[in-house]
């Protein structure tokens, strides 16, 4: 596709100059969706050749957003802010005055319990977790110095451990703070993912799905523990992808998308 191409690659309609510069299709959503599908399948095939995967079509294909932030030592000022939030939230929970922390804005979905969706079996849940990790925490970054931990969630933590005092509950959460985390993201978003045990995380963190994960979740519910191919996109560009199954995760980054990675702390 070049600026000289004048027709939509799907429907054949004449393209405006802006449309020609942007890509191979007109503004029709069906045309753009079809073109995206072709681009994703072509990327999956290219990545499979590079990774030595013989049957790429066996991997369910879906899109997740892209996040690139440097990993840095967790600053003391951020620890103090989180500590202050945690003390207030735990005290409110102990008084029965807990409030929820608002969800981040964006095209996402709280799936568990909504619309009668049943929890996935263990194997499918593990695959969905691998899929979630492919974007490196786009939604997690909104947790910043509150980690979505509101009084309602903390009240349940206190109720589950009646022997613990509010001070001990605060100390437990503080003990899981990592030495390093993604810059200006959730305090618990460490280089290898969330450092907080799932049982202590905010309900939102355990149930919130972006549109791509929602699609993969539906696939898992219908077809069982199918391996996946998560394609990471930003601004209509494919940045990288990850193939994963029950026992292996393989990442691929096309040469055209490679750029210097954000610096990481040497620890």
**Domain map of the chain by residue range?**
59-257
Lowest mean pLDDT of 99-103, 146-150, 235-239, name the range: 99-103
Residues 90-98 have a mean pLDDT of 83
Alpha carbon separation from 259 to 51, 148, 162, 252, 253 (Å, rounded):
20, 32, 51, 13, 10
Q: Give me the pLDDT at residue 229, please.
A: 95
Determine the distance from the C-alpha atom of residue 93 to the mean position of all C-alpha atoms in its chain, rounded to a whole number: 28
Decide: helix, strand or coil at residue 178: coil
Residue 57 or residue 192, greater confidence: 57
What predicted TM-score, i.e. pTM, was given to this entire model? 0.72
Whether residue 7 has pLDDT greater than 80: yes
Give the H or E element holding residue 234: strand 228-234
pLDDT at 61: 94
Q: Where are the alpha helices (DSSP H) in 52-182?
A: 76-94, 122-133, 151-160, 166-175
């Amino acid at each position: 596709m070049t600026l000289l191409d004048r027709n939509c690659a799907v429907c054949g309609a004449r393209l405006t100059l802006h449309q020609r510069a942007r890509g191979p299709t007109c503004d029709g959503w069906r045309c753009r969706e079809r073109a995206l599908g072709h681009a994703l399948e072509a990327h999956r095939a290219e990545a499979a050749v590079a990774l030595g995967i013989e049957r790429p079509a066996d991997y369910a294909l879906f899109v997740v957003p892209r996040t690139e932030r440097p990993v840095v030592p967790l600053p003391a000022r951020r620890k103090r802010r989180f500590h202050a939030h945690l003390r207030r939230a735990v005290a409110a929970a102990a008084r029965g005055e807990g409030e929820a922390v608002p969800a981040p804005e964006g095209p996402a979905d709280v799936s568990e319990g909504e619309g009668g969706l049943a929890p996935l079996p263990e194997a499918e849940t593990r695959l969905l977790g691998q899929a979630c990790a492919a974007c490196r925490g786009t939604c997690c970054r909104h947790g910043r110095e509150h980690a979505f931990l509101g009084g309602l969630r903390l009240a349940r933590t206190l109720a589950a451990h009646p022997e613990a005092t509010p001070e001990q509950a605060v100390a437990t959460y503080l003990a899981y703070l990592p030495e390093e985390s993604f810059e200006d993201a959730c305090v618990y978003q460490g280089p290898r993912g969330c450092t907080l045990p799932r049982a202590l995380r905010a309900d939102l963190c355990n149930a919130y799905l972006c549109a791509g994960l929602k699609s993969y979740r539906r696939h898992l519910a219908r077809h069982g523990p199918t391996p996946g191919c998560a394609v990471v996109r930003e601004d209509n560009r494919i940045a990288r992808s990850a193939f994963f199954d029950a026992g292996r995760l393989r990442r691929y980054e096309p040469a055209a998308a490679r750029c210097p990675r954000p610096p990481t702390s040497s620890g």
